[in-house]
Amino acid sequence: MSLLPRLYSGISHFNFVGSTEAVSTKFAFLFSRWRKRLKGGIQLTTVAGKHGGKLSIPDKISAETVAREDVLPETVKTGFLKFDEMISERREQARRSLVVQVQSEASCLELREYIENISPVNCMFHYKLKENHFVLVEFKDNCLQEILLNWCHVSDKSTVPVASPVVWFKAAQAGRKRSGQEITSIEDSKVIRVSPPPSYETILNLTSQIQRVSPLMETLHACTKLDELGTRLRFFTARQVELAMSGLFPHCAVLPFGSSVNGFGKSGSDLDLIFRHDLSQHETSMGNSNRSLRLVYQTKTSLGGPRPLTQRQMELMADLLQVLMPGCSGVKRILQARVPIVKYSNDFTGLDCDLSMSNMTGLYMSELLFLYSQLDPMSKLLICFVKTWAAACLLTNPSPGRWITNFMLIMLCIHYLQSLKRLPPLDVMVKAAGPEDERVTDDINCTFARDLSRLNWNSSCPSLPPSKILKGFFEYYMNYDFGAYCVSITTEARLTKPDYSPLYIVNPLERSLNVSKNVSGEELEKLKMALRNAAWVLESGDLPVNSLLTRLGQNSNPLPPLLQTGFFSSPIPHASSVEGEPAF
């Protein structure tokens, strides 16, 4: 069965009531849902349009139900969605996708008619970056290569004639009539219009009206989570690089990892990419191919070792991005880091990208976190809130240094949920692994059960609302003995610290490494104080719950802490600067 119904789990984009209007204390926003799929496209209906432009969500909505809205529908039948299946289906979508720059939103009408004459269209998304309008087109058939070769051309002979899946839809010739059925409105074109993420002020104004913790957590997650278009654009960005390299490496793959695919992503975050020369060899090593191949490619060898070779290849890829790839700008080479990366921006998808070649542990860590998000969807609400709270308290910082990172916060949240018996320790998943789950990269064993339906583990925790879980999180770590014990998601037992680091968080895949080795004693004390303050706010009720996001850690800067830290817009520090920490 195709995974497409799962992936169309709903595009949620929100048009919030302006600050000049009276906002309901229960929070009001426009909530758009899929209504039905039509032949040749998808049509959206705005539920809020039937309620005078506002839609209030009742306080009594089950928090578990709200958290499960992110779970793909097919998982109800099959149990859980596999990470590899999700990646495979998203890559197939990207192979059939084309980004078209148009003059305005009105051009979408004519584009739809023109594109349908070339090949049937599955869906189209209109989005805007600054003053430029773009449409992401997904065709029903895998015909993109034929379209690029036969239906696209280079208008300026002074430019490099690159055949890229990003094109411009030029205006029709004067006096030329459009053929086919006339389209008179944007609704008739069946183009999905996606609004940009809400601004800082909108989110702060909205959350300031909420008096209860559970609705606050739900609203914050709904405002900031990665939506359908954001996910598609990330895989499309990876596909653009993959196409450029496929001449030399026909079996290559550029795979997103980190927050883009681990289930805890947010809109506006960076895109982490890993380039694999030959994905078929990777699949063969996992036992997915039994063919006996006797013809072997002639290749070049390097006498300088794997790291100098990787650095040289990354430098060549940086030149390719900078000189030949349309839309790629701001290319920076960071080749001396523990994990060499190339940073660049994609102007057509609005993403800041980090491209690497030797960080498969980051991909497997993303898979592990994805599985945890499947096991307990409530973890998404908790992690989203904790990361926002930590930024408001100035515990995290966009620049690498002695501060706590978002990946460390995710580890703290998962460890806490394991203490509640909501999530299994990693050792349970390792014991349930079969031969098909074996993964080893750079002598690091990344084997654990990928099919959660085979996992012999059931949550013994009673159903709890998000507010109880959040309060328990602050109280748990407020009383945690960081001086004597590690924080580990690998086992149920509390492990003693092997060294005198202020904070010791075990890397789940490289268990001899401390992902929080960079955290100073001063920053740990700040964390403890922030935990006590947050627990007091929730216990006493003397301050509004929104003070967890706007008042803790506030200094003389008149801007709210969320704006001081730039949480919603600044990139997360790249983990290559922290020993043993994957890129999240």
- Mean of the per-residue pLDDT values for the chain? 78
The residue from 174, 193, 212 where one domain ends is 193
- Structural domain contains residue 254: yes
pLDDT classification of 244: cutoffs 50, 70, 90: very high
Asked if 467 contacts 217 with a C-beta cutoff of 8 angstroms, the reply is yes
Q: How far apart are CA 240 and CA 220, in angstroms?
A: 32
Residue 145 has pLDDT above 70, yes or no: yes
- Do 315 and 266 share a domain, yes or no? yes
pLDDT classification of 296: cutoffs 50, 70, 90: confident
- Do 470 and 382 share a domain, yes or no? yes
- 535 vs 39, which has greater pLDDT? 535
CB atoms under 10 Å from CB of 211, counted, come to 15
Task: Supply the pLDDT for residue 176.
Answer: 52
Two tokens, residue 208: 């300031």
- Do 319 and 355 share a domain, yes or no? yes
- 307 vs 182, which has greater pLDDT? 307
Residue 151 has pLDDT above 90, yes or no: no
Domain that holds residue 147: 4-59+76-193
Residue 414: give its domain's CATH number. Answer: 1.10.1410.10
Task: Kindly state the average pLDDT of the residues 269-276.
Answer: 94
Dump pLDDT digits (tens) for 321-334: 999 999 999 999 99
For 298, residues 6+ apart whose C-beta sits below 8 A from its C-beta are none
- Do 142 and 240 share a domain, yes or no? no
Nearest C-alpha neighbor of 84 from the set 575, 584, 449, 510: 449
Beta bridge pairs of residue 98: 137
- 559 vs 485, which has greater pLDDT? 485
Cα 114 to chain centroid, rounded: 33
Q: How far apart are CA 401 and CA 509, in angstroms?
A: 23
- Do 485 and 513 share a domain, yes or no? yes
Three-class DSSP labels, 382-394: HHHHHHHHHHHCC
Dump pLDDT digits (tens) for 508-519: 999 999 999 999
- Do 516 and 473 share a domain, yes or no? yes
Task: Supply the pLDDT for residue 483.
Answer: 94
- Do 414 and 317 share a domain, yes or no? no
Rg (CA), the chain: 24
Residue with tokens 């520090």: 573
- Do 179 and 93 share a domain, yes or no? yes
For 295, 299, 328, 333, 436, the CA distances from 291, given in Å and listed in that order, are 12, 21, 39, 39, 16
Cα 503 to chain centroid, rounded: 27
Two tokens, residue 223: 């405002």
Two tokens, residue 483: 């001086």
The residue from 193, 217, 243 where one domain ends is 193
Task: Supply the pLDDT for residue 48.
Answer: 29
- Structural domain contains residue 317: yes
- Do 312 and 382 share a domain, yes or no? no
Residue with tokens 């701001």: 330
Number of domains in the chain: 3
- Do 143 and 244 share a domain, yes or no? no
- Do 186 and 99 share a domain, yes or no? yes
Q: What are phi and psi of 256, to 5 degrees?
A: -70, 145
- Do 512 and 410 share a domain, yes or no? yes
Asked if 2 contacts 216 with a C-beta cutoff of 8 angstroms, the reply is no
- 485 vs 443, which has greater pLDDT? 485
Task: Kindly state the average pLDDT of the residues 174-197.
Answer: 59
Nearest C-alpha neighbor of 171 from the set 191, 184, 183, 155: 155
- Structural domain contains residue 272: yes
- Structural domain contains residue 251: yes
Asked if 546 contacts 216 with a C-beta cutoff of 8 angstroms, the reply is yes
